[in-house]
Amino acid sequence: MPHYPAIEIVYQTVPERLNEDAYLIQTAAPLSEQIIFAAIDGATTRLTPPPLQTYLDTLPQTLTPAGFAARFVRDALAQHITAGEVTDLRALMLAANADLGAAVRDILGDLTLDAMQFPPELYDTLKHDPRLVRLGLPVCVMTLAAYDPADHTLHYAHAGDTALLVVYEDGRAEIPTARQREFDSPLLATMGQLRAQNPGLSTRDITQNPDLRHLNLHNGLNHNYVDEHGLPQPNRGTGVLNGQPELRYFVRTGELSLDGVALVCVMTDGLEWPTSAEEAFAGDATTAANLRDQRIIYMAEQITARGLRGYLDHLRATETADADHDQFPRMKTHDDAAGVLLRFG
């Protein structure tokens, strides 16, 4: 007997700011039984190429490169699903990425540093490494899922730091799309050092440090990362939709039976319960993993009890109370949030 879920959606940013996230929920397959849904997070472009900005300025709606990428990919997915051209989720994600690449080529001419027409002083700092083209491409990340009510299974395809949350009827919860925290992350290590060296400064002030911002800028190099020989390195980099074909090496997929599952939710990182300072700067992997598990359980409990909208209100209140970012170290007080939840039973 088919299982038909109740569906909840949230989509929110802070006042007077564009929401650079997007979401999708659509039916597909024979008799439109299958539910395909996604959370798409536009990633802040490190450097905006002048031709891209010129193009964005012509649009009727004000869009950042991140907002453009998220919305373009959402619409490309919807078109492919409607046309019935692609049924495999990994192939669907790659098709949307290829569409984004074609659109950016129409704007820039090519996905190269030369095509981006940066000012000479900026171009001179980048030209030594053609991989730095990643800093100027419009980018988004995504968790894409498909639910089949007939066999009560979920398939997913994932790239980046969006998430799939699975909550079981017995109270267990997991994020199968999550990756192990990188303890050697230069950005995280530098933030920890600056906090220790400047006990009088709030973490919010520390995030304005030029060295930290420089590291954050160059983190864009990890998008669909390739080494100096042009070979993809999935264990080092992160998958993103930015039009580059190397994404195919970074997409992660999975299948889950939903027997005993209370709800599933795809979400952008602005909807996740934030990482505490204790977890972020834990000295060993075991402590960090235990704190992470506790955070996921708490988030699952709050969503189950409050619903997705009530949980988001609770999250926003908690973030507001930590205005200095000391309890939950982060780059900005509130991030855009988008989520689609399927609740069973």
Tens digits of residue pLDDT in 310-337: 999 999 999 999 999 989 988 888 999 9
Q: What is the pLDDT of residues 269-279, one digit of tens each?
A: 999 999 998 99
- Tokens at residue 127, please? 């030209």
C-alpha separations of 84 from 32, 79, 80, 148, 344 in Å = 11, 9, 6, 16, 27
Question: What pLDDT is attached to residue 30?
Answer: 64
Above pLDDT 90, what percent of the chain?
72
Q: What is the pLDDT of residues 17-37, one digit of tens each?
A: 899 999 999 998 666 789 999
* pLDDT band (50, 70, 90) for residue 91: very high
3-state secondary structure the chain: CCCCCEEEEEEECCCCCCCCEEEEEEEECHHHCEEEEEEEEEECCCCCCHHHHHHHHCCCCCCCHHHHHHHHHHHHHHHHHHHCCCCCHHHHHHHHHHHHHHHHHHHHCCCCCHHHCCCHHHHHHHCCCHHHHHHHCCEEEEEEEEEECCCCEEEEEEECCCEEEEEECCCCEECCCCCCCCCCCHHHHHHHHHHHHCCCCCHHHHCCCHHHHHHHHHHHHHECCECCCCCECCCCCECCECCCHHHHHCCEEEEEECCCEEEEEEECHHHCCCCCHHHHCCCCHHHHHHHHHHHHHHHHHHHHHHHHHHHHHHHHHHHHHCCCCCCCCCCCCCCCEEEEEEECC
Question: What pLDDT is attached to residue 1?
Answer: 66
Predicted structure pTM score: 0.92
Task: Calculate mean pLDDT across residues 295-301.
Answer: 98
Residue 215: pLDDT over 80: no
Residue 183: pLDDT over 60: no
The C-alpha atoms of residue 119 and residue 125 are separated, in whole angstroms, by: 10
- Tokens at residue 185, please? 């992350």
The vertex-146 CA angle with 262 and 179, nearest 5°, equals 75
Residue 184: pLDDT over 70: no
Question: What pLDDT is attached to residue 252?
Answer: 96
Residue with tokens 């980048």: 126
Q: What is the pLDDT of residues 222-274, one digit of tens each?
A: 899 999 999 999 988 899 999 999 999 999 999 999 999 999 999 999 999 99
158 beta partners: 143, 252
Which tops the pLDDT comparison, 14 or 41?
41
Domains of the chain listed by start with CATH number: 6-181+238-343 (3.60.40.10)
**241, 141 contact by CB (below 8 A):** yes
Residue 100: pLDDT over 70: yes
Question: What pLDDT is attached to residue 216?
Answer: 67
